[in-house]
Structure 1
Amino acid sequence: MKESKLKLFKQRLFALHIAAGITFSIIMYLAIFFGVFAIFLPYIQNWEKPSRYIEKSDITKIDYNYMVEEVLKNPDFPRDNILINLPGRLGDTAVSVQNRFVKPIVFNPNTNEKIEDESKEITYLAAFLNELHYGQPLKLIGRLAFGFTAVGTLALVVTGLILIYLFKFKYQAKNRQALFSTIHVKIFTWAFVPFLLITISGAVMNVGLISAPPMAKMLTHGEAKAIDELVGSTLFPQNKPIKKENIEVSMLPLNQLLIKAQEINPQLTFKQIKLINWNDKTARVEFIGYNPYKPFLNGGIFNIPYVALDAHTGELLENKKVLDNIIPVFVAEGLFFLHFLFGIDIFSRVIVALIMALCGVAIGFGVMLWLEKKAKKFEGKITFYHWMGKLSLATMVGVVPATAVLFILQWTLPFTLEDRVLWQQGLFYNVWLFTLFWSFYRINSYQASKEFLFIGGVLFIVAVFMHLTSFNFQTLLNSYFGVDITLVLFGLLLIYISKKLPKNREDFTLTKIFKKGKTDEKTI
């Protein structure tokens, strides 16, 4: 009796895993695909802006006082809570002086000259890729769809782990079904921990933040309209406002105060300077930073360490350290850190990107496994043609050349073109839609995949060529060659895969790669 119940449980759990997998696979794949680009967002958003091709500078040798005085010549610029973003913050090479109520003023840190900053109407590549990552182009519907997909993926991870525990998988590649199963199971077996943590944080940010306002209204019977009104004082504690004495005094050079702040707390990597009551006797300067020795706990949204100095005398007013906070703040900070990777270096970002890319590959092979089982029913009878296979082909593989078009258009469309971003995004959607038509037109999905991958690889390499030929050599010396190199390597990888991928389903056998494995009772 127990064996029959266990067998029934296994069958139902397996059926649930398959149904949920097919339901959420496409959206989850897109979230991962664009999420890999979002991991490198700081580098892409500076690569796309010609104004950021500036020689790197020493943050302790920049004349910030001059820039502040230049900004304050505008009578409409607020005099309090001025925020200076230092070079190096999010990979930026420029200095920006801003206030939450006005547009930032950008300076070249080496020459102190104002820079004409490209607005989001002129270039929006990195931000658009990030929005595609969480469904923002479809507004609320898109965010909910991607959010609930993340929640559904959590169920997939749990059921998958249970299935791995209950079934004894035979990690071999005797046939296509066994090969796809092996790749799907093995990748997620090794990568499920980071995948699970990142998915949880994504679900919280999409579904959690969307549902927060109505939940706040319900809990307070309509008194609170946002979650900040309930937990804002805990997660975002504010210092008491400092009353001005209206006595104008001289301000010490900010770069000298920055050096002093580094001496006070050498563990911090400073990213911003906040000016309070500037030019007044009560003026306060907060040097905001990030402690790379305590990841997950600081540098993001909630827990921000800083060194506060008197702008007139240089006296230490406050030295807020990473651990000077409460547990709820650390929990919130850690949750968001998992997704935004605050302060993480390029090496760590590459590792996370590779892990997530492998998870995307595992999802793709999971869909191929399902389609292979469907195709088995028609083996030797008729050519297998399934709408889900064609939709998956256009979504998962067709998105590659469409994304490559985005990068090409970044350097082929003139920056003076009216509605430039609209043209760029519109052509991206049209190319992506064309891959859907081509997927249904091509009977042989493997042939269509080879074409998409090859064209995508060539286009990514062409995008780099267009970038390098858009500027003179001297300007390119300060460019972000890391992005160019990555795009070329990605393009070459796509071309290599397109050449190795078989033209026919029957030729997809890689048993030589998977000779070693566990001996087992059953292959799923």
Structure 2
Amino acid sequence: MLAKSLRFKFLHRSHTIIGLVVLFLFYMSTYFGTLTFFMPYLKVWESPSRHFVPLAEHAFNIDLLLGELLEKQHLLSSKPVDITLPSFRDPLLKLSSESQNSLYLNPLTNEVIKLSKEENLISTFFNELHTGVVIPLIGMPLMGIMSIGIVFLTLGGFWLYFYKHTQTKRSKEGWKSRWLSWHKIMGLGIIPYALVFACTGAFLGLMLSYSHPFAWSASSKEESNMRKLVSPIIFAQPVYKSSETKAIMLPFSTLRAIANEHYPSLEITNATLYHYGTDAAKVRFRGFDKNSVAQSGRINRLSITLDARSGVVVEKRGLENTHGINQALSLFYYLHFVPDETLGVRIVLACFGVALAFCLVTGYLLWAEKNLHQKGWLGDLTNRVSIAVLIGILPSSALVLFLQWLLAFDLFDKEVWIRGAFYAFWSFWLFYTVFERAIVTIIGRMLKSTLWLLVLAVLFHGLKSGFFIWDSFEKGAWTLFGMDVMFLLSALLCFVLAKAVEKKELFYRYERKGVFDGY
């Protein structure tokens, strides 16, 4: 019995210590990771060139334009040309080839679009904050270490709950008991989510970051980039004989229809042209199997290759023809990125992400109530810095959305201005939390600032793009409408929370206990 009691005591203490160590970095990763679930839709919302109403199922037709476009852009060569078809991830049609800039087309008009001034500024920045790339050299490894800590917290927390639930009596109802209940309930509910994303995140953040020595050793000190070593194996590209004899190609839409006929379960996302315009031309259609989405993700795309002149099937690569390692890697990446899943799954995962962030915050509040009210000015300063990190991140990220549409798209170094404003605004809240004595006032103003910035972001999006929220609804631009609605609902939630903070006894009680009462 004594051994069990000591084991519980030490595990509880390590749970607390590791939780405090991983809290701030993993909270930031969780917050921005939750936002990146909506990255495909955010890319559309932030880019004026993607503000159009796509046809049903992203239909397009480049039959008449394809040959002319390839010749005009000097893409008719021995190098393959990859075509990324319009989808929910990007409504534009993309043509790319090795050592050449990518070409984007509006699938409705087949107009070539220049995206140099608007390419994925917000979504890229948020993703870098999620992965820790914004911290040079050590950012991704740090996030990987934090993920390992979350795995320990998840498993250790489950053991603590099971032991306490079976061995001890239930504590009396109170503020601490209520926070503890929510912390436990949320924690138990997100165990599968936390384990999956923490384990995959640990691999991506830690192991891939430290793969250079292994690549260096395996290549006899010739190459330190692991991707260059494994890519030719995992992503082996077919090689077809070239020809100088010109030939007439079947229309691209006809070839696509033939591919769908011979491989009906293949959801085509890309097409690669080999020696297009000659009698050796081939078109390789790639995508995922509708019945095995996880095993045929971006790491293990399935394909069917046709002769571009006759439409005869040259090669068909189904799931049964792929290596088990490729399938396992595809499943691994699917669990972290859910690349081919649309809105429904992403909303569910985002809700789990919010629950994980809530667990981290309530865990901190439990520790702060128990320990920091006895620490005087040090405890007070610790809490204020914590609030600046945990809540100050909300208005800072909302400012990024607002500035994206407030600033001109041709502004020189617009990305630098927006990123700098994000860090400056976050720093402002850090200093403000030290300056302002009343913690309720601090939290209320942070939430209200977030509210106004989100509303202004939606307003300026409508003013600058011409797609106000009601216009998006009338025209059927559901991605734009959905993003505006999500931002407005988030603003409404901030308003409700700001009012709740002012009325709830909890934070006033913290101040009276001395946790937030100043120096």
Is structure 2 residue 451 aligned with structure 1 residue 452? no
Deviation, 1:174, is: 2.1
Aligned to 1:339: 336
What SS does the corresponding residue of 1:101 show, helix, strand or coil? Answer: coil
Deviates more, 1:146-155 or 1:344-353: 146-155
More helix by share: 2
Q: Is the 8 A contact 1:195 1:359 kept in 2?
A: yes
Cα deviations by residue, 1:467-515 (Å, 9 ceiling, x for unpaired) = 1122335985446111111111111111111111246764679xxxxxx
Distance 1:361 1:77, change over 3 A: farther
Distance 1:247 1:329, change over 3 A: same
Deviation, 1:184, is: 1.1
Distance 1:466 1:119, change over 3 A: closer
Q: Which has the higher contact order (CA 8 A, sep 6+)?
A: 1
Distance (whole Å) between structure 2 residues aligned to residue 156 and residue 14 of structure 1: 10
Q: Is the 8 A contact 1:85 1:273 kept in 2?
A: yes
Q: Is the 8 A contact 1:60 1:258 kept in 2?
A: no
What SS does the corresponding residue of 1:137 show, helix, strand or coil? Answer: coil
Cα deviations by residue, 1:275-331 (Å, 9 ceiling, x for unpaired) = 01111211110111122321321122x210112111011001122123321221121
Q: Is the 8 A contact 1:172 1:182 kept in 2?
A: no
Distance (whole Å) between structure 2 residues aligned to residue 201 and residue 468 of structure 1: 38
Q: Out of 9, 25, 28, which is 2:26 matched to?
A: 28
Aligned to 2:144: 147
Q: Is the 8 A contact 2:284 2:305 kept in 1?
A: yes
Distance (whole Å) between structure 1 residues aligned to residue 169 and residue 247 of structure 2: 77
What SS does the corresponding residue of 1:501 show, helix, strand or coil? Answer: helix
Aligned to 1:179: 178
Distance (whole Å) between structure 2 residues aligned to residue 417 and residue 405 of structure 1: 17
Distance (whole Å) between structure 1 residues aligned to residue 369 and residue 467 of structure 2: 51
What SS does the corresponding residue of 1:386 show, helix, strand or coil? Answer: helix
Q: Is the 8 A contact 2:76 2:276 kept in 1?
A: no
Q: Is the 8 A contact 1:157 1:196 kept in 2?
A: yes
Aligned to 1:412: 406
Matches within 5 A, 1:9-158: 9-57=7-55, 61-64=60-63, 66-75=65-74, 78-88=77-87, 90=89, 92-119=90-117, 124-158=121-155
Aligned to 2:495: 495
Aligned to 1:291: 289
Q: Is the 8 A contact 2:440 2:508 kept in 1?
A: no
Deviates more, 1:185-194 or 1:259-268: 259-268
Structure 2 counterpart of 1:62, one-letter code = N
Unmatched runs of 5 consecutive residues or more in structure 2: 510-519
Q: TM-score, normalised by structure 2?
A: 0.90
Aligned to 1:194: 193
Aligned to 1:485: 485
Unmatched runs of 5 consecutive residues or more in structure 1: 510-524
Deviates more, 1:135-144 or 1:429-438: 135-144
Aligned to 2:323: 326
Deviation, 1:411, is: 0.7
Aligned to 1:6: 4
Aligned to 1:470: 464
Structure 2 counterpart of 1:103, one-letter code = N
What SS does the corresponding residue of 1:480 show, helix, strand or coil? Answer: helix
What SS does the corresponding residue of 1:270 show, helix, strand or coil? Answer: strand
Is structure 2 residue 427 aligned with structure 1 residue 429? no
What SS does the corresponding residue of 2:293 show, helix, strand or coil? Answer: coil
Q: Out of 442, 446, 468, which is 2:436 matched to?
A: 442
Distance 1:248 1:77, change over 3 A: closer
Deviation, 1:19, is: 0.3
Percent identity between matched residues is: 24
Distance (whole Å) between structure 2 residues aligned to residue 148 and residue 354 of structure 1: 24
Distance (whole Å) between structure 2 residues aligned to residue 501 and residue 159 of structure 1: 31
Distance (whole Å) between structure 1 residues aligned to residue 491 and residue 71 of structure 2: 47
What SS does the corresponding residue of 1:335 show, helix, strand or coil? Answer: helix
Q: Out of 355, 369, 374, which is 2:371 matched to?
A: 374
Distance 1:170 1:452, change over 3 A: farther
What SS does the corresponding residue of 2:286 show, helix, strand or coil? Answer: strand
Cα deviations by residue, 1:171-220 (Å, 9 ceiling, x for unpaired) = 77822211221111110101111111011111111111111121222355
Deviation, 1:361, is: 0.7
Distance (whole Å) between structure 1 residues aligned to residue 132 and residue 348 of structure 2: 24
Aligned to 1:514: none
Distance (whole Å) between structure 2 residues aligned to residue 22 and residue 12 of structure 1: 15
Q: Is the 8 A contact 1:404 1:460 kept in 2?
A: yes
Cα deviations by residue, 1:372-425 (Å, 9 ceiling, x for unpaired) = 1114547xxx79943331222011100000011001001100112111111111
Q: Is the 8 A contact 2:212 2:224 kept in 1?
A: yes
Distance 1:505 1:104, change over 3 A: same
Q: How many residues align?
A: 500
Q: TM-score, normalised by structure 1?
A: 0.90
Structure 1 counterpart of 2:488, one-letter code = V
Distance 1:68 1:51, change over 3 A: farther
Q: Out of 351, 355, 360, which is 1:358 matched to?
A: 355
Distance (whole Å) between structure 2 residues aligned to residue 238 and residue 74 of structure 1: 23
